[in-house]
């Protein structure tokens, strides 16, 4: 398929997995809007690098703090005003903190995780929903996690938040299907260069990799390819699903 006429919005796109997915869609030829919350200089430099590496000049950015409902609404209205359409929304923005859910750890950290990862996703979907439902087309891909399916030690709040994203995906897949809008999720396992394995000591990494059926960590492109598949007409009969990209770990 040709992506030339498609507009893709990726939240949390300033680094790591989000930046990789934005770069992948740009390489396919789509118009890509990078949502960011960090420094303006950082996102401008990333846009320049993506344009240079892909040869695609139709790359832009919008500040989208997913926790700020008014800011989210304003950003999506500006995108629609500028480009006239949004074909794909990738909800990637999220936060995580390590630590067990025990009395000595502050509950505020868990509140932030739950609010950002679940309500942040809902805020973005709400902002784009009228456009997609009216146009009766569109694909929404929520970035979940293996943690939302199996639970992970010292990541209880994060696991709960991603389980919530998976549940949201299932329900919205049914609610939006009659309008021609598909909602799916991708649940990455352990992916290189994303911070996912930072808490695993180097001397334990070899043993950890043995738990993965394929014997190695994934790459950002592995996740990006899965997201692009779910965004494309090749998956036109798939909705409400969570695609696990974990090399057989689960």
Q: Which residues are catalytic?
A: 158
Do 159 and 152 touch, CB atoms closer than 8 A? yes
Q: Are 245 and 188 in contact (CB under 8 A)?
A: yes
Q: How many whole angstroms separate alpha carbon 28 and alpha carbon 88?
A: 13
Query: Among 41, 29, 32, 36, which residue's Cα sits nearest to residue 15?
Result: 36
Question: Which has the closest alpha carbon to 191: 248, 113, 250, 245?
Answer: 245
- The H helix count followed by the E strand count for the chain is 9, 7
* DSSP codes of every residue in 114-128: HIIIIIHHHHHHHHH
Q: Which residues pair with 185 in a beta bridge?
A: 142, 242
3-state secondary structure of 142: strand
238 HSE (CA, 13 A, CB side)? 18
Measured CA to CA, the distance from residue 76 to residue 66 in angstroms comes to 11
User: Of 150, 26, 34, which Cα lies nearest the Cα of 92?
Assistant: 34
């Amino acid at each position: 398929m040709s992506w030339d006429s498609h507009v893709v919005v990726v939240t949390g796109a300033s680094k790591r997995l989000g930046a990789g997915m934005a770069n992948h869609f740009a390489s396919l030829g789509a118009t890509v809007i990078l949502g960011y919350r960090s420094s303006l200089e950082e996102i401008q430099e990333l846009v320049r690098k993506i344009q240079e590496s892909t040869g695609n000049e139709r790359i832009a950015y919008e500040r989208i703090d997913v926790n700020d409902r008014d800011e989210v609404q304003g950003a999506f209205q500006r995108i629609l005003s500028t480009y006239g359409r949004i074909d794909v929304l990738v909800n990637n923005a999220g936060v995580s903190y390590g630590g067990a859910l025990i009395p000595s750890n502050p509950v505020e950290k868990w509140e932030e995780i739950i609010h950002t990862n679940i309500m942040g996703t809902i805020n973005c979907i709400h902002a784009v929903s009228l456009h997609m439902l009216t146009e009766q087309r569109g694909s929404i891909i929520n970035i979940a996690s293996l943690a939302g399916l199996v639970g992970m030690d010292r990541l209880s709040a994060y696991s709960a938040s991603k389980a919530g994203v998976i549940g949201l995906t299932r329900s919205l897949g049914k609610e939006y299907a009659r309008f021609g809008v598909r909602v799916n999720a991708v649940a990455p396992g352990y992916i290189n260069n994303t911070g996912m394995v930072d808490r695993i000591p180097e001397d334990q990494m070899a043993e950890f990799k043995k738990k993965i059926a394929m014997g190695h960590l994934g790459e950002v492109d592995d996740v990006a390819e899965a997201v692009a598949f779910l965004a494309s007409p090749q998956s036109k009969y798939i909705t409400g699903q969570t695609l696990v990209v974990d090399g057989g770990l689960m």
